Amino acid sequence: MKHVIVGGGPAGVTAAETLRKVEPTADITLIGGEAGPPYCRMAIPYYLAGNIAEQGTYFRHEGDHYARLGIRYLNDRVEAISATDGRIRLAGGVDLAYDRLLLATGSRPAMLPAPGLDTPGVYSCWTLDDARQIAARATAGAEVVLIGAGFVACIIMQALAHRGMKLTVVAGSSGRMVRSMMDETAGDLIMRWCREHGVSVLTGQRVAAIEDGPTVVLADGQALKANLVVVASGVRPNSEFAAAAGVTVEEGIVVDGYLKTSVEGIFAAGDVAQGLDFSTRTRSVHAIQPTATEHGRVAALNMAGRSVAYRGSLGMNVLDSLGLISSSFGQWQGVAGGEAAIHLDAARYRYMDLKFDGDRLIGVNSVGRTENLGALRGLIQKRVRLGAWKDRLMANPYRFMEALVAVTA
């Protein structure tokens, strides 16, 4: 059996290694679209902050890891799929045959609808190469304008602040931080905390252009001159060549409960895939590493002919914004008719908001809490009925650890 995996991120690497475990003699090719060994984007902030060397971002540290497993690793880019004859064409001219193909090509930074993105000193922070360029210019005291205030933008903010850079965050016209990850109360606490810790956060602003300097020009005419501009305002799936091959693509590549796409023999996993959501039972793109890793594992088992159903990904994010820890799990927006147990101490940056559907916990927004966050995830994932513990949590939402122990005993 010939397995070809496109993408050297967590989805692709997990898939290749899982396949090798279950199919010791299969022919496995892993194609990473960037130079160097497969690396973990999630580790980029640690590299940027100066906490690890570049090699620290690599998934595996032995130079011959993939060769030892009999996994052929190629640095090349897929340009086209010919699904009818089971072949892919690479930019380097190679043409490869496959029996099973996994698309784990992730996503790329979304383009800002403003001119000047190619101005010197303007970077995305998505690849290791982006991080190298930024790190080379990230001197203490240098001024950075960070465009975007979502999950990844906040992670980058933390890393650059750690290097002693002076930050201005352009949070966009919504006026909110981490808008797709947490509710407004949590976003406002994070924003106030960042301002108190020396970051200038501009809300209700649209970037009109980036000019030489680099200078970020806002729609109201304000000009923000910087040493460095980092754009982190969303991502788009790398799904174009799949769509061109007839694979169904909506928000991402649509996959069924076994990570199969609409085309026989082709699977998809990770940020590029629109798969089952644990909470809503609908399909969505969860651009987080735990989903990518689990997608990769389950897709590989199905590529190997095992029939393994995917149980759905749980949305979860844990964020450190200049020392303030926040997190969200599951349906943090709540559901119609559901109740919420809320505790807010804004002065001390403590917030806990548990969302229920009947007597089941379905979602969480939390700020200022670091301990036992896994228990919240456990309560949601186990779909346990809380019974009398629901009322206790309504009275004190911080008793969730006790609730987990009691209801799962």
Ligand X SMILES: Cc1cc2nc3c(=O)[nH]c(=O)nc-3n(C[C@H](O)[C@H](O)[C@H](O)COP(=O)(O)OP(=O)(O)OC[C@H]3O[C@@H](n4cnc5c(N)ncnc54)[C@H](O)[C@@H]3O)c2cc1C
Pairing of strands 283-284, 273-276: antiparallel
Comparing CB distances to ligand X, the nearer of 131 and 341 is 131
Is 41 one of the binding residues for ligand X (CB under 6 A)?
yes
Comparing CB distances to ligand X, the nearer of 238 and 274 is 238
d(CA 275, CA 124): 26
Is 133 one of the binding residues for ligand X (CB under 6 A)?
no
Stretch that binds ligand X, among 256-264, 281-289, 331-339, 368-376 (CB under 6 A): 281-289
Residues 200-215 as b/e (b if ≥16 CB within 10 A, e otherwise) read ebbeebebbbbeebbb
d(CA 96, CA 31): 11
CB of 261 closer than 8 Å to CB of 179: no
Is 289 one of the binding residues for ligand X (CB under 6 A)?
yes
Is 287 one of the binding residues for ligand X (CB under 6 A)?
yes
H helix intervals, 235-310: 240-244, 289-303
Nearest Cα to Cα of residue 272 among 236, 326, 307:
236
Q: Exactly one of 5, 6, 207, 393 binds ligand X (CB under 6 A); which one?
A: 6
Build a one-symbol-per-residue string for 157-196: x at contacts with ligand X by CB under 6 A, - elsewhere: ----------------------------------------
In eight-state DSSP terms, residue 146 is E
Task: Supply the Cα-derived Rg of the chain in whole angstroms.
Answer: 22
Q: Exactly one of 10, 37, 148, 237 binds ligand X (CB under 6 A); which one?
A: 10
Q: Exactly one of 104, 169, 207, 367 binds ligand X (CB under 6 A); which one?
A: 104
Pairing of strands 273-276, 253-254: parallel
Give Cα separations from 42 to 211, 288, 290, 376 (angstroms): 30, 9, 11, 22
Build a one-symbol-per-residue string for 252-271: x at contacts with ligand X by CB under 6 A, - elsewhere: ------------------xx
Comparing CB distances to ligand X, the nearer of 32 and 187 is 32
Comparing CB distances to ligand X, the nearer of 156 and 403 is 156
Q: Exactly one of 4, 44, 299, 300 binds ligand X (CB under 6 A); which one?
A: 44
**Residue 267 token pair:** 């699977």
d(CA 98, CA 267): 12
CB of 321 to ligand X, least distance (A): 12
Stretch that binds ligand X, among 37-45, 65-73, 163-171, 343-351 (CB under 6 A): 37-45
**Residue 248 token pair:** 């169904």
d(CA 56, CA 128): 11
CB of 390 to ligand X, least distance (A): 29
H helix intervals, 259-349: 289-303
CB of 317 to ligand X, least distance (A): 7
Is 128 one of the binding residues for ligand X (CB under 6 A)?
no
Stretch that binds ligand X, among 25-33, 92-100, 183-191, 208-216 (CB under 6 A): 25-33
**Which residues share a beta bridge with 254?**
274
CB of 185 closer than 8 Å to CB of 349: no
Kindly determine how many residues on this chain lie close enough to bind ligand X according to the rule CB under 6 A: 33
Is 19 one of the binding residues for ligand X (CB under 6 A)?
no
Instruction: For CA atoms 354, 357, 361, 365, give the dihedral sign.
Output: negative
Is 314 one of the binding residues for ligand X (CB under 6 A)?
no
CB of 217 to ligand X, least distance (A): 26
Build a one-symbol-per-residue string for 215-254: x at contacts with ligand X by CB under 6 A, - elsewhere: -----------------------x----------------
Tokens 């940020």, located at residue: 271
Tokens 């969302």, located at residue: 355
Would you tell me which residues interact with ligand X (CB under 6 A)? 6-12, 31-34, 41-42, 44-45, 77-78, 104-106, 125-126, 152, 155-156, 238, 270-271, 287-290, 292
